[in-house]
Amino acid sequence: MFEQLNLLSDADRILSLIRKGESKTLEFKETLLLDVKKKTKEKYIEKSVLKTIVGFLNTDGGTLLVGVSDDGVIRGLQDEISRFHKNPDKFLLHFKNLIKTQIGEEFYPDINYRNVDISGKSVLLVECNATNRPCWLNRKEFYVRINPATDLLEGPKLVEYISRRFPHT
């Protein structure tokens, strides 16, 4: 009921979302770029986050929680922020630059994001609206959300999907 009235804090809303688990419109990522096993910065982890955002934009929209493991445990982003970005503002600037260079500035109005503190742990909350035009990762890869997964579409499936989902493009 509080959720419907929009009275929940961001932290309470995130906790409520985590209890629901991953779905077509909800995804958890443990980090933005940190490989937690190797403790190194990895482009493939960033790409995984960006694919999810593009998939949400091309489908029904959705919410991405970065700093939450697949099993719903809040890990937080403090280690990543301190190691690679120095502070939360520089972390958010890095994220904004990823969106700008790999998704496109024209999608800024459809992507709302902020850091949220949950019991001393930082979680990046990313809310995406469904767009009215196709969105490409790096201007060449097209992703959609299919249940709790993000799939790359190519060839005839891509053409069919775009003509159905974006009939005016």
Beta-strand relationship, 111-118 and 121-128: antiparallel
Bridge partners of 118, per DSSP, are: 121
- Give the model confidence (pLDDT) of 84-139 as tens digits: 999 999 999 999 999 999 999 999 999 999 999 999 999 999 999 999 999 999 99
Cα–Cα distance for residue pair 155/60, rounded to 1 Å = 22
pTM beyond 0.85: the answer is yes
Model confidence at 43: pLDDT above 80:
yes
CATH number at 2-165: 3.30.950.30
The domain spans of the chain are 2-165
Amino acid present at 9: S
Across residues 14-40, what is the average pLDDT? 96
Give the residue carrying structure tokens 């997964």.
149
